[in-house]
Structure 1
């Protein structure tokens, strides 16, 4: 359960840092929030890995969620475009991450069996 909370923290801080990067185009003081967001995000991502999450799964969820949330929030906060094609792309990325997660779950029992031998 902790690894999922850490992953949510990593996603929230990464998206915050990225949105602050966009905001820094209008006010350079946002660069401080960019640095904090990315540093904290990577700290949380490292904690996810220490909790035992596979890197491919953790990074996939982190990246895909970040892309999706950033695109949606950029639309809301900065009136940037969000098209049907962009939505389709996000759905494809999310599907890919789901496949990585399913593949990881199937591989874990085989890996445990191999380690026992």
Structure 2
């Protein structure tokens, strides 16, 4: 058993609580399904948001998912690099797994596909 990180990212159209929660929940659901993990496999989740998203804590969008009551989740601001992707929510899900790094599926949705096109799961997949 190893500890591995699973990356994920998504974007929203507006700085809106409902949209932030839904986008975060959707990204986490994709990570869970694609990597066949459960909340018990997760050590912790770190979520960052760009500084244009302050209407809600994205962690609240994960807390409503079944089994996530005791998973440690922390939110932080992403470094505001000039020209970087706007309205972006990034996730780093640290899991205990027997998978090799090449077998981990990182999830990039919406405009976040621009961040890592080599590791992207699009909305169509």
Indicate the structure with greater helix content.
1
Asked if Structure 1 and Structure 2 have the same fold, meaning a TM-score greater than 0.5 normalized by the shorter chain, the answer is no
| Higher share of residues assigned strand | 2
Structure with higher RCO (Cα < 8 A, 6+ apart) = 2
Given the two structures, how large is their TM-score scaled by the length of structure 2?
0.29
TM-score by length of structure 1 reads 0.31
Determine which structure has more spread, i.e. the larger CA radius of gyration: 1
